[in-house]
Chains A and B, each alone.
Chain A
Amino acid sequence: MENYLRKELEAGKTVSIKIDVGYSASGGVRPSGFGVTIEVNGIRQPPRYFIQ
Protein backbone atom coordinates (compact mmCIF):
# COMPACT_ATOMS: atom_id res chain seq x y z
CA MET A 1 0.00 0.00 0.00
CA GLU A 2 2.82 2.38 0.87
CA ASN A 3 4.45 1.76 -2.48
CA TYR A 4 1.18 2.59 -4.18
CA LEU A 5 1.00 5.84 -2.22
CA ARG A 6 4.55 6.70 -3.12
CA LYS A 7 3.81 6.24 -6.81
CA GLU A 8 0.76 8.43 -6.59
CA LEU A 9 2.68 11.14 -4.75
CA GLU A 10 5.53 10.98 -7.21
CA ALA A 11 2.98 11.37 -9.98
CA GLY A 12 2.01 14.69 -8.44
CA LYS A 13 -1.33 13.56 -7.12
CA THR A 14 -2.79 14.68 -3.83
CA VAL A 15 -3.09 11.87 -1.33
CA SER A 16 -5.08 11.95 1.86
CA ILE A 17 -5.08 9.14 4.40
CA LYS A 18 -7.43 8.56 7.31
CA ILE A 19 -6.57 5.87 9.84
CA ASP A 20 -9.06 4.55 12.36
CA VAL A 21 -7.75 2.51 15.25
CA GLY A 22 -10.01 -0.07 16.86
CA TYR A 23 -9.82 -1.74 20.24
CA SER A 24 -11.49 -4.87 21.45
CA ALA A 25 -14.53 -4.54 23.68
CA SER A 26 -12.68 -6.35 26.44
CA GLY A 27 -10.29 -3.41 26.76
CA GLY A 28 -6.53 -3.22 26.74
CA VAL A 29 -4.13 -0.88 24.99
CA ARG A 30 -3.36 -3.19 22.09
CA PRO A 31 -5.39 -2.25 19.04
CA SER A 32 -7.42 -5.02 17.46
CA GLY A 33 -7.54 -3.50 14.02
CA PHE A 34 -6.98 -0.52 11.78
CA GLY A 35 -9.00 0.95 9.00
CA VAL A 36 -7.11 2.92 6.38
CA THR A 37 -9.06 5.09 3.97
CA ILE A 38 -7.20 6.68 1.11
CA GLU A 39 -8.25 9.51 -1.15
CA VAL A 40 -6.28 10.18 -4.31
CA ASN A 41 -7.10 13.47 -5.99
CA GLY A 42 -10.29 13.58 -4.00
CA ILE A 43 -11.48 10.13 -5.03
CA ARG A 44 -12.06 7.95 -2.01
CA GLN A 45 -11.19 4.29 -2.16
CA PRO A 46 -12.83 1.55 -0.11
CA PRO A 47 -11.26 1.26 3.34
CA ARG A 48 -8.56 -1.31 3.81
CA TYR A 49 -8.75 -3.10 7.13
CA PHE A 50 -5.72 -4.47 8.95
CA ILE A 51 -6.48 -7.02 11.63
CA GLN A 52 -4.08 -7.71 14.47
Chain B
Amino acid sequence: MIGLDNLFGNFERLVHWYVADDDWQYVVLESSIWEESTQTSLTRVVDGFAIVNDKSPPFDLGIVCSRSLVCFRDEHLGTTGRRIWGLTFTLYPDGTYHIEYDYQKPADYEDDPDDTIDGDEINQRLQQLQAPTAVMPAEQVYQQIGYCLLQGAVASGQHITGCGQLLNALACRIRMAISPEQAPRFAQQNPLQDNSLQSKTWIYCKISTDSLVYSVRMRSLSII
Protein backbone atom coordinates (compact mmCIF):
# COMPACT_ATOMS: atom_id res chain seq x y z
CA MET B 1 0.00 0.00 0.00
CA ILE B 2 1.46 3.34 -1.05
CA GLY B 3 -0.24 5.13 1.80
CA LEU B 4 1.27 2.85 4.41
CA ASP B 5 4.77 3.17 2.94
CA ASN B 6 4.39 6.93 2.92
CA LEU B 7 3.09 6.97 6.46
CA PHE B 8 5.86 4.70 7.67
CA GLY B 9 8.52 6.88 6.04
CA ASN B 10 7.19 10.06 7.61
CA PHE B 11 6.67 8.44 11.01
CA GLU B 12 10.22 7.14 10.87
CA ARG B 13 11.44 10.69 10.28
CA LEU B 14 9.30 11.87 13.17
CA VAL B 15 10.75 9.22 15.48
CA HIS B 16 14.31 10.01 14.52
CA TRP B 17 13.69 13.69 15.14
CA TYR B 18 12.10 12.84 18.48
CA VAL B 19 14.83 10.59 19.85
CA ALA B 20 17.64 12.64 18.30
CA ASP B 21 20.87 11.24 19.76
CA ASP B 22 19.29 9.69 22.85
CA ASP B 23 19.26 5.99 23.60
CA TRP B 24 15.82 4.47 23.25
CA GLN B 25 14.19 1.10 23.55
CA TYR B 26 11.15 1.93 21.48
CA VAL B 27 8.92 4.85 20.52
CA VAL B 28 5.14 4.84 20.45
CA LEU B 29 3.11 7.24 18.32
CA GLU B 30 -0.59 7.33 19.15
CA SER B 31 -2.63 9.18 16.56
CA SER B 32 -6.22 10.33 16.51
CA ILE B 33 -7.63 10.93 13.05
CA TRP B 34 -10.58 13.24 12.56
CA GLU B 35 -12.06 14.26 9.22
CA GLU B 36 -9.28 16.61 8.13
CA SER B 37 -7.15 16.85 11.22
CA THR B 38 -4.94 14.64 13.34
CA GLN B 39 -3.17 14.67 16.68
CA THR B 40 -0.24 12.45 17.57
CA SER B 41 1.11 11.75 21.02
CA LEU B 42 4.81 10.86 21.24
CA THR B 43 6.24 8.49 23.83
CA ARG B 44 9.82 7.26 23.96
CA VAL B 45 10.89 4.57 26.36
CA VAL B 46 14.38 4.85 27.80
CA ASP B 47 15.72 2.41 30.39
CA GLY B 48 12.20 1.30 31.11
CA PHE B 49 10.93 4.82 31.70
CA ALA B 50 8.36 6.44 29.42
CA ILE B 51 8.87 10.06 28.42
CA VAL B 52 5.71 11.54 26.94
CA ASN B 53 5.28 14.58 24.71
CA ASP B 54 8.25 16.43 26.14
CA LYS B 55 8.72 18.31 22.90
CA SER B 56 6.70 19.21 19.83
CA PRO B 57 7.85 18.43 16.31
CA PRO B 58 8.68 21.13 13.77
CA PHE B 59 5.56 22.37 12.03
CA ASP B 60 6.52 21.08 8.58
CA LEU B 61 7.20 17.58 9.87
CA GLY B 62 4.00 17.55 11.88
CA ILE B 63 1.84 18.62 8.97
CA VAL B 64 3.44 16.06 6.63
CA CYS B 65 2.71 13.27 9.10
CA SER B 66 -0.83 14.53 9.50
CA ARG B 67 -1.38 14.49 5.75
CA SER B 68 0.05 10.96 5.58
CA LEU B 69 -2.36 9.81 8.27
CA VAL B 70 -5.39 11.20 6.48
CA CYS B 71 -4.25 9.72 3.14
CA PHE B 72 -3.68 6.36 4.76
CA ARG B 73 -7.07 6.51 6.49
CA ASP B 74 -8.72 7.10 3.10
CA GLU B 75 -6.72 4.37 1.39
CA HIS B 76 -7.47 1.91 4.17
CA LEU B 77 -11.16 2.75 3.94
CA GLY B 78 -11.07 2.19 0.20
CA THR B 79 -9.42 -1.22 0.41
CA THR B 80 -11.06 -2.65 3.54
CA GLY B 81 -14.31 -0.70 3.80
CA ARG B 82 -13.50 0.11 7.42
CA ARG B 83 -12.65 3.53 8.71
CA ILE B 84 -9.91 3.95 11.26
CA TRP B 85 -10.19 6.70 13.85
CA GLY B 86 -6.74 6.25 15.23
CA LEU B 87 -3.66 4.12 15.16
CA THR B 88 -0.77 3.24 17.40
CA PHE B 89 2.61 2.93 15.75
CA THR B 90 5.53 1.40 17.65
CA LEU B 91 9.04 1.55 16.22
CA TYR B 92 12.08 -0.26 17.54
CA PRO B 93 15.72 0.72 16.95
CA ASP B 94 16.30 -2.27 14.66
CA GLY B 95 13.66 -0.90 12.29
CA THR B 96 10.89 -3.34 13.14
CA TYR B 97 7.54 -1.81 13.85
CA HIS B 98 4.02 -2.64 14.88
CA ILE B 99 0.80 -0.89 13.92
CA GLU B 100 -2.51 -1.25 15.69
CA TYR B 101 -5.65 0.29 14.26
CA ASP B 102 -8.48 1.82 16.25
CA TYR B 103 -11.85 1.34 14.57
CA GLN B 104 -13.82 2.83 17.42
CA LYS B 105 -15.37 6.20 16.71
CA PRO B 106 -14.56 8.55 19.62
CA ALA B 107 -17.52 9.15 21.90
CA ASP B 108 -16.98 12.91 21.80
CA TYR B 109 -16.50 13.08 18.04
CA GLU B 110 -18.34 16.01 16.51
CA ASP B 111 -19.63 15.43 13.03
CA ASP B 112 -18.64 18.04 10.53
CA PRO B 113 -22.04 19.70 10.04
CA ASP B 114 -21.93 20.80 13.67
CA ASP B 115 -18.48 22.15 13.26
CA THR B 116 -18.84 24.17 10.11
CA ILE B 117 -20.04 27.64 9.23
CA ASP B 118 -21.57 28.67 5.94
CA GLY B 119 -20.34 31.32 3.55
CA ASP B 120 -22.73 33.99 4.81
CA GLU B 121 -21.51 33.57 8.32
CA ILE B 122 -17.90 33.78 7.19
CA ASN B 123 -18.66 36.98 5.31
CA GLN B 124 -20.45 38.36 8.32
CA ARG B 125 -17.42 37.73 10.44
CA LEU B 126 -15.12 39.14 7.80
CA GLN B 127 -17.08 42.37 7.84
CA GLN B 128 -15.94 42.76 11.39
CA LEU B 129 -12.54 43.39 9.91
CA GLN B 130 -13.22 47.07 9.42
CA ALA B 131 -11.55 48.78 6.51
CA PRO B 132 -9.35 51.45 8.04
CA THR B 133 -10.06 55.09 7.42
CA ALA B 134 -6.40 55.85 7.86
CA VAL B 135 -3.26 53.90 7.37
CA MET B 136 -3.23 51.25 10.02
CA PRO B 137 -0.09 49.95 11.65
CA ALA B 138 0.64 46.36 10.80
CA GLU B 139 0.18 45.31 14.39
CA GLN B 140 -3.37 46.66 14.44
CA VAL B 141 -4.30 44.83 11.27
CA TYR B 142 -3.14 41.56 12.66
CA GLN B 143 -4.68 42.36 16.01
CA GLN B 144 -7.99 42.60 14.19
CA ILE B 145 -7.31 39.23 12.66
CA GLY B 146 -6.68 37.93 16.12
CA TYR B 147 -9.91 39.37 17.47
CA CYS B 148 -11.90 37.90 14.62
CA LEU B 149 -10.18 34.58 15.17
CA LEU B 150 -10.89 34.78 18.84
CA GLN B 151 -14.55 35.51 18.24
CA GLY B 152 -14.83 32.64 15.86
CA ALA B 153 -12.81 30.00 17.58
CA VAL B 154 -13.85 30.42 21.17
CA ALA B 155 -17.13 28.76 21.81
CA SER B 156 -18.55 31.59 23.79
CA GLY B 157 -21.88 31.96 22.11
CA GLN B 158 -24.13 30.42 19.53
CA HIS B 159 -21.48 30.06 16.91
CA ILE B 160 -18.89 27.36 17.11
CA THR B 161 -16.38 27.75 14.38
CA GLY B 162 -13.58 25.54 13.21
CA CYS B 163 -10.28 27.30 13.58
CA GLY B 164 -9.03 26.01 10.27
CA GLN B 165 -11.96 27.26 8.27
CA LEU B 166 -11.97 30.71 9.76
CA LEU B 167 -8.23 31.07 9.44
CA ASN B 168 -8.42 29.93 5.88
CA ALA B 169 -11.15 32.40 5.05
CA LEU B 170 -9.23 35.16 6.73
CA ALA B 171 -6.02 34.31 4.97
CA CYS B 172 -7.70 34.23 1.59
CA ARG B 173 -9.46 37.51 2.10
CA ILE B 174 -7.21 39.42 4.39
CA ARG B 175 -6.84 42.05 1.75
CA MET B 176 -10.37 43.11 2.65
CA ALA B 177 -8.94 44.49 5.85
CA ILE B 178 -7.06 47.12 3.94
CA SER B 179 -8.67 49.05 1.15
CA PRO B 180 -6.86 48.57 -2.15
CA GLU B 181 -5.96 52.23 -2.55
CA GLN B 182 -4.30 52.18 0.83
CA ALA B 183 -2.36 49.03 0.30
CA PRO B 184 0.71 50.65 -1.26
CA ARG B 185 0.84 53.24 1.50
CA PHE B 186 0.37 50.58 4.05
CA ALA B 187 3.25 48.61 2.64
CA GLN B 188 5.39 51.72 2.46
CA GLN B 189 4.70 52.86 5.99
CA ASN B 190 4.81 49.42 7.54
CA PRO B 191 7.82 47.86 5.91
CA LEU B 192 8.34 44.23 6.56
CA GLN B 193 11.13 42.30 4.97
CA ASP B 194 11.86 43.51 1.42
CA ASN B 195 9.67 46.53 2.16
CA SER B 196 6.70 44.60 0.91
CA LEU B 197 3.71 42.76 2.22
CA GLN B 198 4.73 39.94 -0.06
CA SER B 199 7.66 39.12 2.14
CA LYS B 200 7.95 35.87 4.01
CA THR B 201 7.95 37.51 7.40
CA TRP B 202 6.08 35.75 10.12
CA ILE B 203 3.69 37.97 12.01
CA TYR B 204 2.95 37.24 15.60
CA CYS B 205 -0.32 38.28 17.11
CA LYS B 206 -1.10 37.76 20.72
CA ILE B 207 -4.57 38.46 22.03
CA SER B 208 -5.56 37.83 25.60
CA THR B 209 -8.79 37.84 27.52
CA ASP B 210 -9.39 37.03 31.17
CA SER B 211 -8.14 33.51 30.93
CA LEU B 212 -7.31 32.89 27.30
CA VAL B 213 -4.27 33.85 25.33
CA TYR B 214 -4.26 33.50 21.57
CA SER B 215 -0.92 33.49 19.91
CA VAL B 216 -1.27 33.53 16.14
CA ARG B 217 1.65 33.18 13.82
CA MET B 218 0.82 34.11 10.27
CA ARG B 219 2.96 34.64 7.27
CA SER B 220 2.42 38.07 5.82
CA LEU B 221 0.21 37.93 2.79
CA SER B 222 0.45 39.64 -0.52
CA ILE B 223 -1.99 42.45 -1.04
CA ILE B 224 -2.94 43.17 -4.59
Contacts and interface: CB of A to CB of B under 8 A. Distances in A.
Interface of A: 1-6, 9, 12-23, 29-37, 44-52
Contact of B53 (A3, A16, A36, A44): A44
Interface of B: 36-42, 53, 56-57, 59-60, 62-63, 65-67, 70, 108, 110, 115, 149, 153-156, 160-164, 167-168, 171-172, 174, 211-219, 221-222
Given A15-B211, A16-B213, A51-B66, A46 B40 contact: yes
A14 B211 contact: yes
Given A9-B211, A21-B217, A33-B66, A51 B167 contact: no
Given A6-B154, A29-B222, A46-B39, A52 B53 contact: no
Contacts of A33: 63, 66-67
B224 to A, nearest CB: 9
B63 A16 contact: no
7 contacts: A4-B108, A20-B59, A21-B171, A21-B218, A29-B171, A35-B63, A49-B66
B167 A5 contact: no
Given A16-B212, A17-B213, A46-B42, A51 B221 contact: no
